Amino acid sequence: MIVIQDLLRVILEPLGIILHYVLGAYIWVLIIRALLSWVSPDPYNPIVRGLYSITEPVLSFLRRKFPLMAGSVDFSPMVAILIIWFLQMVIDRLFHSISVWLSFVAR
């Protein structure tokens, strides 16, 4: 039984770390997209197209569900960043709690 708990802890800790960094990277992609929207980049640039294809599913979902426009200012990237930041904190605490629980159960 101890082997299974150690195996779960060894799997879950790195998984939590990976999820933390993936969500952090997505936050930076959203920030870059928001900054690019101020300068109106070339829409045929492959980097711009890649950024838009990565971020548009989340932002369009938020725009459909909530009215996040104030005039010509779109607040959906900021709301997405806040949601991802909150999700990142919850996942960190959840994986840490599971890891601590597994270490106490293994004793």
- Residue by residue, pLDDT tens for the chain (107 residues) are 567 777 777 888 889 899 999 999 999 999 999 999 889 888 899 999 999 999 999 999 998 888 877 778 888 999 999 999 999 999 999 988 888 887 777 66
Is the separation of the CB atoms in 98 and 12 below 8 Å?
yes
Domain that holds residue 46: 2-105
Identify the pLDDT of residue 21: 96
DSSP readout, the chain? -HHHHHHHHHHHHHHHHHHHHHHHHHHHHHHHHHHHHHH---TT-HHHHHHHHHHHHHHHHHHHHS--EETTEE-HHHHHHHHHHHHHHHHHHHHHHHHHHHHHHT-
Is the separation of the CB atoms in 61 and 11 below 8 Å?
no
